[in-house]
Copies of this chain bind each other. A is one copy, B any other.
Amino acid sequence: MFHADAPHLRILRLLRDEGAVSRAELGDRLELTRPRLLAEVERLVGVGLIAEAGMAASRGGRRSTLVEIHPRLRFAAVDLGASSIDIEVVNGRLEPVATYREAADIRSGPKVILQRVNELLAKARIDGAYERLDGVGIGVPGPVSFRDGVPVSPPIMPGWDRYPVRELLAREHGCPAVVDNDVNIMAIGERHGGVAHSVDDFLFVKIGTGIGCGIHLGGTVYRGIDGCAGDIGHIQVDANGPFCSCGNAGCLEALFSGAALARDALAAARAGESPALAERLAGAEELTARDVAEGAAEGDVTCIRLIREGGRRVGGVLATLVSFANPSMIVIGGGLAQLGHVLLAEIRSVVYRRSLPLATGNLPVVLSELGGRAGVTGAAVLASDMAFEQAS
């Protein structure tokens, strides 16, 4: 058998994902010869990435010693949204040791936002979350050149185009850094610790302020030639539809997204079409997706209709993508996943009706398990992968 990844990477990932393991079991699991394994383990102990962890239970012969990912390791995981900063500092097992979340407008530009990220990380150090970082992973809400570590023509991120995010974070924290699109890190997170655990080929569809799709194929994220693969929010679904922030008309996210739903809910409330929404609008200046979700839960017909229409739009695009990509799972995440089973039922109905029967014979369409934590989880996975790769 021929493995694409170097032995040290496979050892580190296994210890990260499964905890303390004996040398004997490591050798068996990774199909490494004993001398090769012992040499690699010794080297990784030497560079401080793994540590001894006592004796394993006996397997009959001589007892084997356990090794684990070094308990001192720390990674910073950052998920920048259109209007939020989420940070987790995690240990080598990717368990959070500190969590920060605050509102922030991505349009404030990279200097302001990254300074705030660094302040929060400095606070984490003072709070005792880490002494030094071994890797930083960050997701941003726009296309990214993964190779160059910079955002590329991100529509909702003025001032960020080709800004050297990776270089500045790596320099600031003296460790490897990695930058990716926010939906890609959510997909990676969901595969690491969520509903897509160990699924190789799946689509992660984020429906939030905008709409995007993380494409996980053959066990890895597919980013496309310009880093904008999965940018499905601007697929035109209705040539006569409303104008979109991108300048075109009838884009998917102009018809259904957090902003579109708020707009449609407001119109319905004002037109007297929805008692539930009218009641919520009294005393508020605007409506949100949460209002629509609550209205639907109370049985308000207009709220249910708005969600179903949205689900139908998303389902139509996903049916096309299922025929094209033949994935083994679709995960729905992002803020509008809170619309829950009404949304899911409509998406499923359209996908199952309009895609190839062969492609949908066994195709789960499910909600994200990690919810708001999918992004930071994926950023932590990327940060650790990057740090492990550089330990060769």
Instruction: Tell whether, in the assembled complex, residue A222 and residue B226 are in contact, meaning their CB atoms are under 8 Å apart.
Output: no
Instruction: Tell whether, in the assembled complex, residue B226 and residue A361 are in contact, meaning their CB atoms are under 8 Å apart.
Output: yes
Given contacts A201-B225, A324-B213, A324-B230, is CB(A236)–CB(B358) below 8 Å?
A: no
Determine the residue in chain B with the shortest Cβ distance to A142.
B358
A317 at the interface (CB under 8 A from B): yes
A326 at the interface (CB under 8 A from B): yes
Docked complex Cα distance between A227 and B6 (Å): 29
- What's the least CB distance linking A237 to chain B, in Å? 9
- What's the least CB distance linking A209 to chain B, in Å? 17
A359 at the interface (CB under 8 A from B): yes
Q: Mark A77-112, 1 if CB is under 8 A from B, else 0.
A: 000000000000000000000000000000000000
Docked complex Cα distance between A359 and B229 (Å): 8
Instruction: Tell whether, in the assembled complex, residue A235 and residue B326 are in contact, meaning their CB atoms are under 8 Å apart.
Output: no
A37 at the interface (CB under 8 A from B): no
Interface residue range, chain A: 35 or more
Docked complex Cα distance between A316 and B236 (Å): 9
Q: Mark A94-132, 1 if CB is under 8 A from B, else 0.
A: 000000000000000000000000000000000000000
- What's the least CB distance linking A200 to chain B, in Å? 8
Instruction: Tell whether, in the assembled complex, residue A359 and residue B228 are in contact, meaning their CB atoms are under 8 Å apart.
Output: yes
A20 at the interface (CB under 8 A from B): no
Q: Mark A354-380, 1 if CB is under 8 A from B, else 0.
A: 101111010000000000000000000
Instruction: Tell whether, in the assembled complex, residue B319 and residue A228 are in contact, meaning their CB atoms are under 8 Å apart.
Output: no
Determine the residue in chain B with the shortest Cβ distance to A316.
B236
Docked complex Cα distance between A217 and B153 (Å): 23
Docked complex Cα distance between A28 and B296 (Å): 67
Selected contact of A323 from candidates B2, B217, B235, CB within 8 Å: B235
Instruction: Tell whether, in the assembled complex, residue B325 and residue A358 are in contact, meaning their CB atoms are under 8 Å apart.
Output: no
Q: Which residues of B contact A5 (CB under 8 A)?
A: 2
Docked complex Cα distance between A320 and B232 (Å): 8
Max chain B Cβ within 10 angstroms of own Cβ: one of A223, A321, A325: A325
- What's the least CB distance linking A299 to chain B, in Å? 29
Given contacts A224-B359, A354-B248, A358-B143, is CB(A229)–CB(B325) below 8 Å?
A: yes
A69 at the interface (CB under 8 A from B): no
- What's the least CB distance linking A356 to chain B, in Å? 6
A234 at the interface (CB under 8 A from B): yes
A215 at the interface (CB under 8 A from B): yes
Selected contact of A326 from candidates B225, B324, B327, CB within 8 Å: B225
Instruction: Tell whether, in the assembled complex, residue A232 and residue B324 are in contact, meaning their CB atoms are under 8 Å apart.
Output: yes
- What's the least CB distance linking A67 to chain B, in Å? 23
Max chain B Cβ within 10 angstroms of own Cβ: one of A152, A153, A324: A324
Q: Which residues of B contact A39 (CB under 8 A)?
A: none
Q: Which residues of B contact A184 (CB under 8 A)?
A: none
A174 at the interface (CB under 8 A from B): no
Selected contact of A236 from candidates B213, B236, B321, B354, CB within 8 Å: B354
Question: A228-B358, A228-B359, A229-B324 given. 15 additional CB < 8 A pairs?
Answer: A201-B225, A215-B324, A217-B217, A224-B325, A224-B326, A224-B327, A224-B359, A225-B326, A225-B327, A225-B328, A229-B325, A231-B324, A231-B358, A234-B323, A321-B324
Chosen A-B contacts, 7 in total, with CB atoms closer than 8 Å, are A2-B5, A201-B224, A218-B222, A226-B361, A228-B356, A229-B325, A231-B324
